[in-house]
Amino acid sequence: MVSLRDFILSVSPISESAWQDINALFQPKLLRKGDYFITEGKTATQIGFICSGIVRAFAKNQNGQEYNKHLFTAPSFIGGYASLITGNINKINQEALTDCELLVADYNKLTALYDKHPDFERVARKLAEFFFAAKEQREIELVMLSAEERYLLFRERMPGLEFEIPLYHIASYLGVSAVQLSRIRKNLAR
């Protein structure tokens, strides 16, 4: 159970009055395992904050095959970030893999606070920068590392997570099939 306030403050300090305005926009929401926070097809309007639980973000191709773009655990923001930013149709789905406690806010109301609270816009800037750096890192790893190396890295970075959700979700997150991950695990066991 993680606090939104602490999370924001860990990014960049903000005034008490900014926090009050931000906090007022977030409402608690419970997401049951299997529920979706967003689905593709409409422009995203809401941003969520995970207090507890696990959410997967995935894209579907024309054949219906899914790719787990990200596995979110608390504390983190979720929502169709690219769609929120650009206003384009959202192409991402986000599904709870466990029961989740969320805080949910309207993204436009939130960004409307930037004018009043430049310290909050600074939080947003730093977050966007970190998100970018993380994506860049992931991109490099997807291309430069073998699937086995990516799996080992995953276990290091998110220890225990592989026992909380189905392996095929992890395989998809690593960019391989469940069968291939099974082979990799067999190899490592020797």
Shortest reach from residue 178's CB to DNA, in Å: 5
Tell me how far apart the terminal alpha carbons of the chain are, to the nearest angstrom. 38
Closest among 21, 34, 37 to 115, alpha carbons compared = 21
Q: How many CB atoms lie within 10 A of CB 154?
A: 17
> Which is nearer to a second copy, 112 or 128 (by Cβ)?
128
Closest among 75, 68, 98, 78 to 170, alpha carbons compared = 68
Residues 62-101 that bind DNA (CB under 7 A): 65
Shortest reach from residue 80's CB to a second copy, in Å: 10
Element (H, E) at 49: strand 46-52
Q: What residues make contact with a second copy under the rule CB under 8 A?
A: 59, 61, 65, 67, 69, 81-82, 85-86, 91, 114, 118, 121-122, 124-125, 128-133, 135-140, 142-145, 175
Please answer whether residues 25 and 108 qualify as being in contact, where contact means their C-beta atoms are separated by less than 8 angstroms.
no
Size of site (CB under 7 A) for DNA: 19
**What's the distance, CA 94 to chain centroid?**
8
Is residue 112 within the footprint of DNA (CB under 7 A)?
no
Among 17, 27, 43, 146, binds DNA (CB under 7 A): 146
Is residue 185 within the footprint of DNA (CB under 7 A)?
yes
Chain positions contacting DNA, by CB under 7 A = 65, 146-148, 166-168, 175-186
